[in-house]
Structure 1
């Protein structure tokens, strides 16, 4: 995330959420000074870098997830709160509940907390103590009074129903520049997947089993797996080898945020087998790149955000995944149709309009005009 703003000055990438970067660009374009506060597990002390319109503050985070979770991210929350207070911010836009939302509320500075996921659903899919603790932290955050927003009505309705709180719906925004026409400049027979983590919730195992079936009839096709845990020698690679699913799979690992758009544009199909999405930024990014999308018909907010422009299937059925992949790989017309539909839907998520909606709320929250530092 941070490389988009600072080239070569720091080695860490901070918290892996590109949506923050997109918003910051627009906030700066609107004339606001922004303080970006993030956490990173690969730094041991706080770092601060200042520019004309942007300051980046990086707070150390403990490497072991167990250590962070067992005390409810106490050190991380304290670090984020301290950074917020040191920023002299007029108003705070906190992304994610958990340590960021809780620390922002604790600062007593007017704060908008954006609810980007639904903790109980994530815990249900992953069934691990860490995620149950995260879900409890979300409950803690949402019980604290203050302004809330969510990127989909799927999330906002749950917040309103359970917590009896107003929750504005503002979708995540994407950069819509650099699109190309369908099937031009793409690698033939290539399917892309981009995920953060090789978890049960991301369900990439089903995709790998499906790919083994695709390879039987289309041996020259390639499945490109990108994101943390998807490098050669990583968890996904090890699982694929163990289960005989590595044939025709390219394990790319993390990709530079600045290369994401080109990465999507190179693929003939984007496959997303996640069991739970509260928004699904990667789906919008793929549609903006005019790459046909296959995703889960019961995967949270996926039907809401794709608006009929994606092929929605049972992503827990490897045979069904394989069948739809083969159909799309063999049909130029169907890929073109989905590309055009996806492009039209993606226009609704233009980051400029999204930023203006957020700035309207932040302006109302702030006790003074947003002309000085803001976080």
Structure 2
């Protein structure tokens, strides 16, 4: 069986030889590349469908058991409802077809897969209507409309968490399964575990806005810094760079003392900084999953998250694998940080439980079995003479 993966692929993370030619710059999301690697490692043929703004004609690169098809993009795609991008992706899918396609997000990558007429599972990785209500602009309106069209047209959906599954409509639940995000076995191998935690706490967040929670977290840290003046707060991600939006806000509100604005970092460097930190503070108000939290659990750093922040309470096993608090309150968040900074033993206990919990529920080995089950079941439905029937799934209609 040849499996198609449609989404933002970071080609530098794909574990195969793509030749010596310079690869186009793509919009990468590490989980997509990790899924490709996991399938290749298990002997499947994979075709990746992605796109790039740095090419003027489609690029197709072949390697052993792996093909990547890169479509073109144009500036300001939202103004065109991504129709140019969708058309180009769908064309490549038809010219280089897989047996089934797993499409990330309910936007252009999934819409293109549906247009290709190849059996497709659309993976829901965010809650479009909730994002729109907190980031109410024209781009998010376009994304919401695309989400509604794609989820209605799709015959097969996959939610990336039980929280995401519970947010979709009753009719959509009937055609959906839950396939959690996962971490790779080499995540731990990429770090050096510190003999002693360093004197800082950390947040890994992309985007400086109320929904992501960094403005409130900065106010909370100011209270923490009064009690622990030697502790630093490190901010990683888009808008967290020196002289970026978060830094400007901190200066304007006199909150920059003790804060290091590091901005976007290479993943290995980022994970090492998280492993060295005393606490990962995750102030986001809503998460369909929470990759930064999961990675922190894997590398042994205690986590603080929101008690009502989407999947975060489930990921932290309802407070057994981390501290849950009211992240709408700077006082509550500050108190949770102070609680863990004041008790290293408690922080270590949370980190130890979290490590076991995440290994048992969100490892590559556990989650990839569900992926393969879905693909084989889909293939057996559409190609009954070629595939044996896969075991029945717990949810959905595969």
TM-score normalized with structure 2 length: 0.85
- Whether 1:151 and 2:156 are equivalent positions in the alignment is no
1:328 to partner: Cα distance: 1.0
> What do the CA deviations read for 1:53-101 (whole angstroms, capped 9, x no partner)?
33333333344xxx32232111221222123223221211101101111
Q: Distance in 1 between matches of 2:100 and 2:199?
A: 48
- Whether 1:234 and 2:247 are equivalent positions in the alignment is no
1:255 matched residue in structure 2: 265
Q: Distance in 1 between matches of 2:274 and 2:25?
A: 21
- Whether 1:81 and 2:95 are equivalent positions in the alignment is no
- Whether 1:59 and 2:71 are equivalent positions in the alignment is yes
Q: How does 1:185-334 map to 2 (within 5 A)?
A: 185-307=195-317, 308=319, 309-334=321-346
In structure 2, the CA distance between the partners of 1:103 and 1:301, relative to structure 1 (3 Å rule), is same
Q: Secondary structure at the match of 1:80?
A: helix
2:392 matched residue in structure 1: none
In structure 2, the CA distance between the partners of 1:61 and 1:3, relative to structure 1 (3 Å rule), is same
1:72 aligned residue (67, 72, 81)? 81
CA RMSD of aligned residues (A): 2.5
TM-score normalized with structure 1 length: 0.89
- Whether 1:39 and 2:48 are equivalent positions in the alignment is no
Q: Distance in 2 between matches of 1:257 and 1:86?
A: 34
1:163 to partner: Cα distance: 3.4
> What do the CA deviations read for 1:3-44 (whole angstroms, capped 9, x no partner)?
213698657663342211221111011111222222344555
2:5 matched residue in structure 1: none
Contact 2:11 2:28 in 1 (8 A): no
Q: Distance in 2 between matches of 1:227 and 1:263?
A: 12
1:165 aligned residue (167, 174, 190)? 174
In structure 2, the CA distance between the partners of 1:327 and 1:158, relative to structure 1 (3 Å rule), is closer
Larger CA deviation: 271-280 vs 124-133:
124-133
1:179 to partner: Cα distance: 4.1
Alignment coverage as a number of residue pairs: 367
1:353 aligned residue (363, 366, 372)? 366
Which protein, 1 or 2, shows the higher relative CO under an 8 Å CA cutoff with sep ≥ 6? 1
Any gaps of 5 or more consecutive residues in structure 2?
1-9, 389-398
In structure 2, the CA distance between the partners of 1:137 and 1:112, relative to structure 1 (3 Å rule), is same
Contact 2:192 2:272 in 1 (8 A): no
1:238 to partner: Cα distance: 2.3
Q: Distance in 2 between matches of 1:369 and 1:136?
A: 36
Q: Distance in 2 between matches of 1:239 and 1:8?
A: 44
> What do the CA deviations read for 1:224-272 (whole angstroms, capped 9, x no partner)?
1112222223222222222222222222222223444323211111111
- Whether 1:100 and 2:109 are equivalent positions in the alignment is yes
Contact 2:122 2:157 in 1 (8 A): yes
Larger CA deviation: 95-104 vs 216-225:
216-225
1:90 matched residue in structure 2: 99
Any gaps of 5 or more consecutive residues in structure 1?
371-375
